[in-house]
Amino acid sequence: MRVGIDFGTTHTVAAVVDRGNYPVVSFDGVDTWPSLVAGNAAGELRFGADAAAVRHEPGWSVLRSFKRLLNDAGPQTEVTLAGRGHRLADLLTGFLARLRSDLCDRSNAGLAPGETVEAAISVPANASSAQRFLTLDAFVAAGFHVVALLNEPSAASLEYAHRYRSTITARREYVLVYDLGGGTFDASLLKMTGPANDVVLSEGIQRLGGDDFDEAIVDLVLAGSGLGEVDDGRRDLLREECAARKEAVGPQTRRFLVDLTAVDRPPFACGIDDVYAACAPLVDKTVEILRRVLRDPAAGDEVTTSEVAGIYVVGGAGSFPPVSRALRAAFGDKRVKRSPHPFAATAIGLAVHLDTEADFELSERFSRHFGVFREAEAGTGVVFDPIVPKDAPLPADAHSPLVVRRSYRAAHNIGCFRFVECSRMVDGRPDGDVMPFDPVYFPFDPALYDRPDLGRHAVGRWTDGPDVEERYEIAPGGAVQVTLTTQPAGFRRTFRLERRAAAAS
């Protein structure tokens, strides 16, 4: 069975490939599966729908929006749940393994026990290499046969192409995907010609989504009701209530009413404009990113708003009225189109991608800058060397990865590589969502080949160093690994770029 799986901050959605159709899988009659993990002090865990079922029971704590933790995480990152430490990577694997078994036992997917699941999966366009590796590893460990890893807005563009191909004309062949989910905001500009969907460029904000609207509304309610600060448990209950009220807001809503029983207070009410005003700075940031995408020189001089066939709004938080209002004000009424499946557009697009019969091709681009800091001026300064530029075209298949090579004569006994990814470069320096990786240490001096603790060994300058070759391999899903080789000795090591962050919460 072939399944597109969109692991989201709030919801996880699956869509299957079924003879030219891409039906969304329902679990116990619901088209989304909650992205939740629950745990108790005894160390028992529940995932997805099972976690939602125990979330208010005494003794259980819930971890929400844990996808947000992945961007800064490494394989050893721990989170605390009900007073116990768990590895985030294990929680994600457990979560996905449960999803796999629920696909079998509690869904209408028709998956037989033991049947191979060929999965296309996705990550936010802005996701780091670390997030890409962690997500991929967890899906594989959970028993999925992962055949593709796409950026979420690129997948959503395939759903658009599948549904609205006819809106694309020679004069209007660009589509701007606006994906505002629970945790992340992504915007991608795509050029659609014939069967080809070419990602021109992507921009985004790693931590901006419906969760942040909820926080802004909770702050408004706490201030407006005179509650001030409350403990974490009560804030969680209030956030759940505010999120539900926010989701019920429609274009005609005038008043915003919140039940405060959970915090022993009478209901809170305010005009809807107060809520919109509290969220406006967040909405404005997303509109600013769209403008930046359309102005970007990489989009080519001639991409003007009139050449954009549509701004395609996907993701649940795009349903919030101030979002469509701001987009219409900025880009015109006609151009803004909401997906009929805001929660499922990404999963459906992933299924379209898996369908060998569907006549669409996707060419992805690398969605961040990748480079390394190195010493300069004989150790007195630091410069940044870009290695893979943002928007470099990515390969279509894993057998022919994008490869970048560099070589030089080693000037030290140990190479210490401080790799960084970032969403923007300003004056040759990383800027905006800068993600440093754990340093990579590599012995240039043969006497140090077997030393396990190079990070603690003194680095010294060395006049007699070998030639070094760096070989960077960028997979179709955008994850980077580096192989370092000395010549003529031929000593070689391969590193996956990871982060060994401390406890995430």
Ligand X SMILES: Nc1ncnc2c1ncn2[C@@H]1O[C@H](COP(=O)(O)OP(=O)(O)OP(=O)(O)O)[C@@H](O)[C@H]1O
The residues that touch Mg ion, with contacts defined as CB under 5 A, are 8, 181
Cα separation, 120 vs 200, in Å, equals 21
How many Å apart are CA 124 and CA 39, to the nearest integer? Answer: 27
One symbol per residue from 99 to 118: x for binding ligand X (CB under 6 A), - otherwise; what is it? Answer: --------------------
Distance CA 79, CA 266 (A): 35
Shortest gap between Cβ of 349 and Mg ion (angstroms)? 11
- Asked if 191 and 174 touch (Cβ cutoff 8 Å), the reply is yes
- Rg of the chain (C-alpha set): 24
Residues 161-190 that bind ligand X (CB under 6 A): 181-184
Encoding tokens for residue 28? 């116990």
Within 10 angstroms of residue 295's Cβ, the number of other Cβ atoms is: 9
Q: How far is the CB of 319 from ligand X (least distance, A)?
A: 4
Least distance between Mg ion and beta carbon 158 (Å):
14
At residue 478, φ and ψ (nearest 5 deg) are 95, 5
Cα gap 75→370, rounded to integer Å: 20
Taking contact as CB under 6 A, which single stretch among the options 42-50, 283-291, 316-324, 389-397 is the one that binds ligand X?
Answer: 316-324
Closer to ligand X by CB, 79 or 372: give it.
79
- Amino acid identity at 359: D
Q: Which does 183 bind (CB under 5 to 8 A by kind): ligand X, Mg ion, none?
A: ligand X
Is residue 71 at the binding interface for ligand X, with CB under 6 A as the rule?
no
Which of Mg ion, ligand X, none is residue 243 near (CB under 5 to 8 Å by kind)?
A: ligand X
Q: How far is the CB of 285 from Mg ion (least distance, A)?
A: 18
Beta carbons within 8 Å of 123's beta carbon, 6+ residues apart: 131, 132, 135, 149, 151, 152, 477
Nearest position to ligand X, beta carbon: 210
Tokens of 35: 């992205």
Stretch that binds ligand X, among 159-167, 243-251, 375-383, 412-420 (CB under 6 A): 243-251
Q: List C-alpha distances in Å: 504 to 63, 207, 283.
A: 12, 15, 27
What is the C-alpha separation between 31 and 178, in angstroms, rounded? 22
Q: Which amino acid is at 27?
A: F
Q: Residues 204, 210, 371, 430: which binds ligand X (CB under 6 A)? A: 210
Q: Which of 2, 46, 64, 67 lies at the binding interface for ligand X (CB under 6 A)?
A: 67
466 binds, among ligand X, Mg ion, none (CB under 5 to 8 A by kind): none
CB closer to Mg ion out of 37 and 127: 127
Secondary structure letter of residue 389 according to DSSP: -
Q: In this structure, are residues 448 and 414 in contact, taking their beta carbons and an 8 Å threshold?
A: yes
The one segment of 6-14, 85-93, 170-178, 197-205 that binds ligand X by CB under 6 A: 6-14
Q: How far separated are the first and last CA of the chain, in Å rounded?
A: 37
The answer to whether residue 361 forms part of the interface with ligand X (CB under 6 A) is: no
State in angstroms the smallest separation of the CB of 324 from ligand X.
10
3-class secondary-structure state, position 23: coil
Instruction: Give the shortest CB-198-to-ligand X separation in angstroms.
Output: 22
- Shortest spacing between CB 330 and ligand X, in angstroms: 19
Q: State the nearest-atom distance from the C-beta of 213 to ligand X, in Å.
A: 7
Interacting partner of 67 out of ligand X, Mg ion, none (Cβ under 5 to 8 A depending on kind): ligand X
CA 324 distance to own-chain centroid: 23
Which C-beta is closer to ligand X: that of 299 or that of 345?
345
Q: Comparing C-alpha atoms, which of 217, 229, 208, 329 is closest to residue 274? A: 217
Q: Is residue 153 at the binding interface for ligand X, with CB under 6 A as the rule?
A: no
236 binds, among ligand X, Mg ion, none (CB under 5 to 8 A by kind): none
Query: CA-CA distances (angstroms) from residue 497 to 29, 115, 134, 381?
Result: 40, 33, 11, 24
Give the residue among 306, 240, 246 at the shortest CA–CA distance from 276. Answer: 246
Minimum Å distance from CB 114 to ligand X?
A: 29
Q: Out of ligand X, Mg ion, none, which partner does residue 247 contact, by CB within 5 to 8 A per kind?
A: ligand X
Which of 3, 5, 11, 245 binds ligand X (CB under 6 A)? It is 11
Which residues contact ligand X (rule: CB under 6 A)?
A: 8-11, 35, 67, 181-184, 209-211, 243, 246-247, 315-317, 319-320, 343
